[in-house]
């Protein structure tokens, strides 16, 4: 594990007040944040291209202050290094086993808004700024409800892939799911919760995704 030099903390406070709030226009902060990253030698944790302007802008928007965004980026890069995220491919045995189980499908397609329907670490910044997640709830029962998976997914998206979720489509939600959603909703911030859409009809789903690209008919 690479250690971050302690003098980088002083550098941060020279550049910014830690309570400084980031507005929706983050362009003026990106160059300074990149300078902080270089001063703290974050290139030891990741290639420079992994901290491009789009990545920095997303962390700034999500964490609202420069200090919090910088700390979040450090944790994100350490996590990627510790778990070998950059070496994960779709050919890995664990990934292949999950895909063969049918629990998840990665589509090399885009939704109607141009969002990639893929996993976060496979979503290249040059071609994909955010992505679409589809949950098919047909045949749902309480025995299949995995709260820990959903909570972990939300935590990963919030902390390590902020601003990457474009829309989260929950298809065929049964009445039974209402109580589950009440719990899950408490784990989401207001901005993310607005990206969740419940879909019960094919024509409604077609507003977001071309139905012919789906691996199966979700409404049969």
Residue-wise pLDDT for 135-160, tens only, equals 888 888 898 898 998 999 999 999 99
Q: What are phi and psi of 166, to 5 degrees?
A: -90, -45
Q: Give the model's pLDDT for residue 112.
A: 79
Q: What pLDDT digit, counting tens, does each position of 14-57 carry?
A: 444 444 555 545 566 676 667 666 666 665 556 555 677 888 88
Q: What pLDDT digit, counting tens, does each position of 115-127 carry?
A: 765 443 445 555 5
The first and second tokens of residue 13, run together, are: 């406070």
The residues facing 196 across adjacent strands are 168
CA-nearest of 77, 3, 14, 91 to 45 is: 77
CA dist., res. 103 & res. 136, Å (int): 10
Q: What pLDDT digit, counting tens, does each position of 50-98 carry?
A: 677 888 888 888 888 777 888 898 888 888 888 888 788 878 888 788 7
CA dist., res. 72 & res. 168, Å (int): 23
The first and second tokens of residue 169, run together, are: 């489509």
At what angle are helices 27-39 and 53-63 packed, to 10 degrees?
110
Rounded to two decimals, what is the model's pTM? Answer: 0.72
Residue carrying structure tokens 């040059």: 126
């Amino acid at each position: 594990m690479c250690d971050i030099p302690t003098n980088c903390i002083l550098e941060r406070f020279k550049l910014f007040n830690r309570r400084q709030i980031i507005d929706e226009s983050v362009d003026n902060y990106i160059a300074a944040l990149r300078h902080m990253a270089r001063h703290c030698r974050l290139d030891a944790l990741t290639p420079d291209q992994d901290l491009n302007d789009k990545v920095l802008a997303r962390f700034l928007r999500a964490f609202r202050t420069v200090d919090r965004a910088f700390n979040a980026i450090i944790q994100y890069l350490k996590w990627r290094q510790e778990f070998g995220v950059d070496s994960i491919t779709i050919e890995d045995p664990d990934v292949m086993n999950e895909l063969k189980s049918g629990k998840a499908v990665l589509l090399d397609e885009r939704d109607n808004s141009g969002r990639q329907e893929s996993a976060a670490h496979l979503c290249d910044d040059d071609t994909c700024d955010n992505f679409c997640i589809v949950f098919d709830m047909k045949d749902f029962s309480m025995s299949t409800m995995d709260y820990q998976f959903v909570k972990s997914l939300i935590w990963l998206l919030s902390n390590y892939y902020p601003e990457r979720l474009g829309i989260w489509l929950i298809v065929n939600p049964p009445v039974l799911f209402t109580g589950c959603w009440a719990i899950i909703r408490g784990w989401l911030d207001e901005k993310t919760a607005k990206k969740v859409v419940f879909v019960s009809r094919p024509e409604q789903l077609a507003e977001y995704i071309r139905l012919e690209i789906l691996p199966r008919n979700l409404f049969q």
